[in-house]
Amino acid sequence: MTRDEPVTSRSEPGDVPDLPGPHADDPDPRAETLVRAAVEVLTAALPGAVASRAAHDELVAAVPADLEGLGDGARRRVTAAMILVKTRANAVYEAVALADAERALLPAARKADLGDAALSACWAAASEAYAALGLPRRGSACARNAAEYARAAGDDAHLFRALELLTVNRALNGELGLTRESANAAHELERKHGWENTSTAYLLLVGEVLHAYDTLDVDTLVTCAERFRRGQPGDPAWVAMACYAEAIELLIRGRHSEALAAITRVTNSSDQLRIPLIVQGFATGFVATVLTARGEPQRVLQLLDGRESSPGHALCYDVHRASAYLLLGNDRQALVTTDGCMRLGTDHCLRTLPPVLLQRAIANHRLGHHAAADAALADAFSLYRSTGATGVPLSIVPRGDLEELLARLRARQPHLASDIDELSANALASFITVPTDLPVPPSLTKRETLVAHQLRGQGTMAEIAGTLLVSVNTIKTQIRSLYHKLGVSSREDAVAHLERSGFYDRSS
C-alpha cells in the first residue's frame, strides 16, 4: 500500500489542493469510483471547489459492503465523504453514527494510509456532523484535530475549513471569546487568499451570526446577511440563514412583526427539507423568542408542542417553554419543564444553560424558595460574566422579578455591584420588553374545555348539549360552573375573557 503524500497549498491564492487519490492497488472499478467520488466531495468542502452531482449520488448510493474491499486509507476517505453527504442531506443521526465509529479509529490511522491533509478532511467531516446535530463539544474536539493536521500539512485551505468548524461549534456552545478567536483566524486566511467571495464559508458565517445574536452586534448581522445572500443565491440553506440574520437584526431594533415575518420565510418555506435541521431549530427557537416578547405564551407552547431539544440542548426548547409558563404564572411548571436540563449536568450546552438557570431562579423566587432562587441566579450571573453574553436569553424574563433578584444579589455580594449594574442595564434597556400584565388563562378540566369551545360557536344550549351528549340541564350546570371559575356572568363575557388570555390559541 503506497503512502499518501501530504497536500500542500499552491502559490496562487484561492487554488484548491487536491486530496490524495485512490490507491493504485484497489482493482475493483466500483471501489475506485467511490474513492474518486469521495475525493471530489471532500475537496468541494474547501474554498473555491465544487463537487459534481454524480459524485454526491455515488456516495448516497454506497452501502457498507462497497467498502469491504478498500484499503484502510481509501475506506476512511470514503467514510468521511459519506458522513459529509449524509450531514448535508439532513440524515444527521446516520452521519453522527458513522462519525462516532470513525472517530474511535482515526487516532490510530497510520500515516502510511492517510496523509495529514486527508486526516484533516476526515476529522472535519466528523466535526460538521456533530455541529449539525447540536453536539458542539464533540464537534470542537474534531475541528481542533482537523486544524492540527492541516497545519502539519502546511495547507491553508484545510486550515480554513477547520477554523470555520471551530467557529460554529464554539458559537453553538456559547464560548464567545474562543468563537471570535477562530473566526478572526479564518477571516485572515480569507483575506490572504482572496476567498471572501467563495461559497464555502457557510459554517463560518453561521458561527458569526450566533456570536452576533449573543452580543447584539447589529453590524455583523447585516454583513453576514449580505454574504449569505451573495454566497449561493437561491440555495435554501443560504437563504434561510440570510433571513435568520435579518430577523435577529429586526428584533434587536424592536421591530417584532417584521422580525417574525422574516423568520417565517424559513419556518414556512416550501424548501424545508433542504434547510439544515439545526437552522430549522434556530428558526423555531427564534419564533418562540419573538412570541414571548410580544406576550403570547400560549402560542409559544403550541409552537413547541411535541418538539424535543437537541442532544445536549444546544437547541433547548425547554427554556422557551419555561419562559411561557412564567408569563402564564405557572411557576411550578417552569421548574418541572427544566428539571430535565438540570439532570443533564455537565452534558448541558453552555450557551443555553444560563437562561435555564435564570428561569429557575425566577420560578423559585415566586414560589418563595429564596435560597434556591438566589443560588440559581448566582450561577446564571457567573456564567453570563464568564461568557460575555448579553443578548436575548437574559431579557426574555419578566422585568420586575429580574430586578428583585439582582438587587438581592447586589446586597449579598457588594463587590459585584458594577458588574450587576452593567448586566442589569443590558437586560432592562433591552429591545425586548416582556409584558407583566397578561391575563392568565384558567386551568380548566377536560369537560370545561369542551364547554368553553362550544360557547364560542353559535349553537344554542340544546345544540351544545346534543353535541356533548348530555342533557340541557347538565350543560346549564356545567356552564354556570365555568362562569364561576372565570368570574363572569354571561356567555359573551366568558368568551371574551378566554380570548384575551389566549386560551383558544393553545387548547384544542
Q: What pTM did the predictor assign?
A: 0.82
Question: pLDDT category, 113, cuts 50, 70, 90?
Answer: low
Mean pLDDT (the chain, rounded): 85
Q: What is the DSSP string of 35-92?
A: HHHHHHHHHTTSTT----HHHHHHHHS--GGGGTTS-HHHHHHHHHHHHHHHHHTT-H
28-85 pLDDT, tens per residue? 677 788 888 999 999 999 997 777 788 888 888 887 777 877 888 888 899 999 999 9
Tell me what pLDDT residue 27 has: 53
Q: Amino acid letter at 466?
A: G
Tell me what pLDDT residue 109 has: 60
Q: Per-residue pLDDT for 17 more than 80?
A: no
Q: Per-residue pLDDT for 7 more than 60?
A: no
Report the pLDDT averaged over residues 91-98.
Answer: 94
Domain ranges in the chain with CATH number 1.10.10.10: 446-506
Tell me what pLDDT residue 23 has: 45
Tell me what pLDDT residue 1 has: 30
Task: Tell me the CATH architecture of domain 1-151.
Answer: Alpha Horseshoe (1.25)
The lowest-confidence range among 64-68, 117-121, 171-175 is: 64-68
Cα distances (angstroms) measured from residue 390 to each of 204, 215, 224, 420, 437: 21, 6, 20, 12, 25
Domain ranges in the chain with CATH number 1.25.40: 1-151, 310-428
The lowest-confidence range among 41-45, 60-64, 94-98, 478-482 is: 60-64
Report the pLDDT averaged over residues 390-408.
Answer: 71
Tell me what pLDDT residue 424 has: 67
Q: Give the 3-state secondary structure of residue 504.
A: helix
Tell me which fold the domain 310-428 belongs to.
Answer: 1.25.40
Q: Which CATH number fits domain 446-506: 1.10.10.10, 3.40.605.10, 3.60.20.10, 2.60.40.740?
A: 1.10.10.10
